[in-house]
Amino acid sequence: MEQNLEPGLRNLYQQTSTRKNWDNPSREEMVRSLNKAHTVNKALVRNVDELLSKLENERTWRKRLMWAFGATWAVFAWVLKLIIPFAVKGMIK
C-alpha cells in the first residue's frame, strides 16, 4: 500500500555499512549512530502526529456526513409517512 509520506522520510534511514569493529564500535561511531537514530525517531514521531491529526479530522467529517445522511433519510421517511395514507385512500377509490 503506497503512503503519501514526506519525500525525505522514505529515504531518511539507510543502513550503515558493516564495520570491522562491529562488536566494539568507537565512541564517535556510537554518538553518530545515536544522533542519526534520534533524528529519524523525531521525524517519524512528527509524521505520526500529523497523520493522527488528519485521521481525527477525517473521522469528524465522516461522522458529520453520516449524521447528515441519517437526517436526510429520517425526513424522507417522515414525508412518506404523511403521503402514503393519502396514496392508499386514492387507490382504494
Dist. CA 6–CA 48, nearest whole Å: 11
The pLDDT, as a whole number, for residue 60 is: 95
pLDDT band with cut points at 50, 70 and 90 for residue 90? confident
Convert the pLDDT of each residue in 25-78 to its tens digit: 888 888 888 888 888 889 889 988 999 999 999 999 999 999 999 999 999 999
Residue where the block lists cell 564495520: 19
Report the residue count for the chain.
93
Convert the pLDDT of each residue in 19-36 to its tens digit: 666 678 888 888 888 888
Burial (0-12, 13-18, 19+ Cβ within 10 Å), 9: middle
Dist. CA 42–CA 36, nearest whole Å: 10
Where in the chain are the domains?
25-92
* Backbone phi, psi, residue 3, to 5°: -105, 155
Helices (H), 1-93: 7-10, 27-92
Does position 16 have pLDDT exceeding 70, yes or no? no
Judge whether 69 and 59 are in contact, CB under 8 Å: no
